[in-house]
Amino acid sequence: MSTSNSTPENSIASEQANRITGPHREPPTVANATTYWRCESCDRESIREQDLHREAFHAADCEVADRC
């Protein structure tokens, strides 16, 4: 059996900066704290996850937008 030290192409580690993450919780010190999702590529956030699956939501040079 052969093993490799390289990261698989489809692993989470290889897509760390080019993915949608969440839900994230705002700190309890924030009035009306809620959860939100973030695009790690263009740093845009929304309280509605479906927003991040629309190409128009992302910045013009965002790599995640190409996969919407």
pLDDT in tens, 5-46: 444 444 444 445 689 999 999 999 999 999 999 999 999 999
In angstroms, rounded to a whole number, what is the distance separating the alpha carbons of residues 22 and 5? 29
Q: Is this structure's pTM higher than 0.85?
A: no
| Res 53: pLDDT | 93
What is the H or E stretch that residue 24 is in?
A: strand 20-25
Angle, alpha carbons 59-67-44 (nearest 5°):
30
Could you state, in order of their start, the residue ranges of all structural domains in the chain? 17-67
